[in-house]
């Protein structure tokens, strides 16, 4: 979409008169286009270069608008982004929870529109600040959305759109917050090109946008340098996609057992290399093998046949009916489960794995009571598998949360593993999740993997490249040699501090606008008084 030029100062008007806002119908169109641009930048579309364009379109739409209008335009951008992006949530249930989730995320993204309107005097006075302000606002908004409400929902971050872009390499320096900041700053430079005062200034801002998006290609990456391990991923598939998955527990377990036995046969025949570790996905055994002898025997048989430990995704019951843990547990040949090497999911998903406000939620969906009460684990997923290395295990959506992944590397993880179950979603969701694995591998300088019940599964190297990826809704087994370990990246060492710095600078920038807005109101009042006197 081509934006019309802003209203420029007329001959004889003050040289420092700021441009007026765009007409409201144009601003609405730009706000919608902004959300659609960011949507197209994310998987499964992967048009990464549209991410800064989306930032620029929203910045243009809200510039010099009233605060309420700015917020409304920001919400409109959020709706155009999140409602289609999160459509896969409706596959597992009613359409109403999907819309509620999309609208709630849009309400938070709307704060960018409000803040963009608020900071208009700042970028009018110092146009060179527009890239900085855009970077701060988008990164601070993501910091909020990553944490609230109910522990946050980080889906749709700008950083997760950059899997094929040079800017992905910045994750090794400052993690997802730095990637988002630079992408949004490039968008700020683009809108400054449009809202220009001279061709020279426009050219300068255009050069800034190009440098911000292209220069990260020169960032050196930390590569794994330890021993090599052979890892096998088993994607057993399910009889039927959707919520019926939960009624197919034994069939799903048998699929993964049988696929592992077939791998063992290939190893015995010399068609495949013997793995040091086999990784099964989340919910590969929804029957608790610590309480069910048949399930335990099936898993032990698979481990004994392949002659390697299996990282099993399972649910563990408690003595209180309805309370469960979502667990990855190491199951060794001969000796069986190693209770010292297991990880319980630390961030269960609200309204999907546990139900806040259950009595109120029943008014929204009749399927509320299908959700049990998943309890959070109390320690990072650091699992010593022996020859397979020390695995940093996270489960499903946890890969979206910076701190949960970082804690595993701080705890000594040599390899990042994401166990997930996409049987209740679709391929778009799986590819969105795989994009997060790509960023995490670059961020921490570790090879990674994602293994799903139904796909997409695959390996990711420390440059963010995907290897041996599988299809969706199909059974597959992939085996790959990967390097373990390596030095800790600057992003790992700096932890949460890049994000903290951005939030502090955002608060300072927002506060710095107050005297400018007061001065503008005073000048406006004096101008009206002078007109009346004349």
Active site residues: 282, 345, 396
Give me the helix-helix angle, 199-214 and 50-62, nearest 10°.
140
Residue labelled with tokens 């041996």:
468
The bridge status of strand 476-483 relative to strand 373-374 is: unpaired
Please provide residue 44's backbone torsions phi and psi, each rounded to the nearest 5 degrees: -90, 5
Please provide residue 6's backbone torsions phi and psi, each rounded to the nearest 5 degrees: -70, 160
**Which residues, including other chains, have CB under 8 Å from residue 490's CB and lie 6 or more apart?**
172, 173, 174
**Which residues, including other chains, have CB under 8 Å from residue 215's CB and lie 6 or more apart?**
166
The bridge status of strand 228-235 relative to strand 277-279 is: parallel
Q: 22, 29 in Cβ contact below 8 A?
A: no
| 296-317 per-residue burial string, b: 16 or more CB within 10 A, e: under 16 | bebbbebbebbebbbbbbbbbb
Using CB atoms within 10 A of its CB, is residue 221 exposed (0-12), middle (13-18) or buried (19+)? middle
**Which residues, including other chains, have CB under 8 Å from residue 464's CB and lie 6 or more apart?**
163, 168, 169, 438, 439, 441, 442
For the chain, the first-to-last Cα distance in angstroms comes to 45
The pairs formed by 247-253 with CB atoms below 8 angstroms and a separation of 24 or more are: 249/285, 249/286, 249/287, 250/287, 252/283, 252/284, 252/285, 252/286, 252/453, 253/284, 253/285, 253/286, 253/287, 253/295, 253/298, 253/299
Of the candidates 285, 229, 286, 235, the one whose C-alpha atom is nearest the C-alpha of residue 262 is: 235
Q: 153, 105 in Cβ contact below 8 A?
A: yes
Q: What is the DSSP string of 429-498?
A: HHHHHHHHHHHHHHHHT--EEEEESSS--EEE-TTS-EES---SSS-EEEEEEEE---PPPHHHHHTTHH
The bridge status of strand 415-420 relative to strand 390-395 is: parallel
């Amino acid at each position: 979409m081509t934006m019309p030029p802003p209203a420029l100062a007329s001959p004889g008007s003050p040289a420092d008169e700021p441009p007026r806002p765009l007409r409201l119908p144009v601003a609405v169109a730009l706000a919608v286009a902004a959300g659609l641009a960011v949507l197209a930048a994310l998987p499964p579309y992967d048009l990464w270069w549209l991410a800064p364009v989306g930032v620029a379109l929203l910045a243009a739409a809200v510039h010099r608008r009233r605060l309420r209008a700015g917020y409304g335009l920001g919400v409109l951008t959020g709706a155009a982004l999140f409602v289609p992006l999160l459509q896969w949530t409706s596959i597992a249930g009613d359409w109403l929870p999907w819309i509620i989730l999309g609208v709630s995320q849009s309400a938070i993204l709307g704060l960018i529109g409000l803040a963009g309107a608020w900071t208009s005097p700042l970028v009018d006075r110092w146009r060179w600040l527009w890239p900085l302000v855009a970077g701060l606002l988008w990164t601070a908004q993501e910091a909020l959305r990553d944490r609230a409400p109910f522990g946050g929902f980080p889906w749709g971050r700008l950083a997760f759109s950059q899997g094929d872009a040079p800017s992905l390499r910045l994750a090794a320096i400052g993690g997802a917050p730095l990637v988002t900041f630079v992408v949004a700053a490039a968008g700020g430079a683009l809108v400054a090109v449009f809202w220009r005062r001279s061709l020279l200034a426009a050219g300068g801002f255009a050069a800034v946008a190009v440098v911000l998006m292209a220069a990260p290609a020169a960032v050196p990456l930390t590569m794994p340098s330890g021993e090599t391990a052979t890892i096998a991923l088993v994607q057993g598939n399910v009889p039927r996609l959707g919520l019926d998955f939960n009624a197919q527990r034994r069939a799903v377990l048998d699929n993964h057992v049988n696929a592992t036995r077939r791998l063992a046969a290939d190893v015995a025949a010399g068609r495949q290399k013997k793995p040091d570790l086999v990784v099964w996905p989340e919910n590969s055994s929804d029957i608790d093998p610590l309480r069910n002898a048949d399930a335990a025997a099936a898993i032990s048989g698979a481990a004994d046949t392949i002659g390697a430990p299996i990282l099993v995704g399972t649910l563990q019951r408690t003595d209180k009916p309805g309370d469960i843990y979502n667990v990855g547990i190491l199951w060794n040949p001969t000796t069986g489960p190693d209770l010292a090497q297991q990880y319980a999911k630390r961030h269960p998903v609200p309204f999907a794995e546990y139900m806040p406000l259950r009595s109120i939620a029943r008014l929204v969906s009749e399927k509320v009571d299908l959700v049990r009460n998943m309890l959070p684990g109390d320690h990072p997923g650091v699992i010593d598998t022996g020859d397979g290395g020390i695995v940093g295990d996270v489960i499903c959506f946890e890969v979206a949360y910076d701190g949960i992944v970082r804690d595993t590397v701080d705890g000594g993880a040599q390899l990042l593993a994401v166990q997930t179950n996409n049987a209740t979603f679709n391929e778009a969701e799986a590819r969105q999740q795989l994009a997060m694995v790509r960023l995490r591998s670059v961020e921490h300088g570790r090879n990674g993997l994602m293994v799903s019940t139904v796909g997409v599964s695959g390996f990711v190297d420390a440059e963010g490249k995907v290897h041996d990826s599988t299809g969706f809704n199909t059974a597959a087994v992939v085996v790959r040699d990967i390097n373990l370990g390596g030095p800790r990246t600057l992003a790992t060492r700096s932890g949460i501090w890049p994000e903290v710095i951005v939030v502090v600078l955002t608060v300072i920038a927002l506060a710095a606008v107050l005297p400018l807005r007061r001065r503008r109101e005073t000048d406006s009042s004096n101008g009206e008084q002078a007109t009346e006197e004349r």
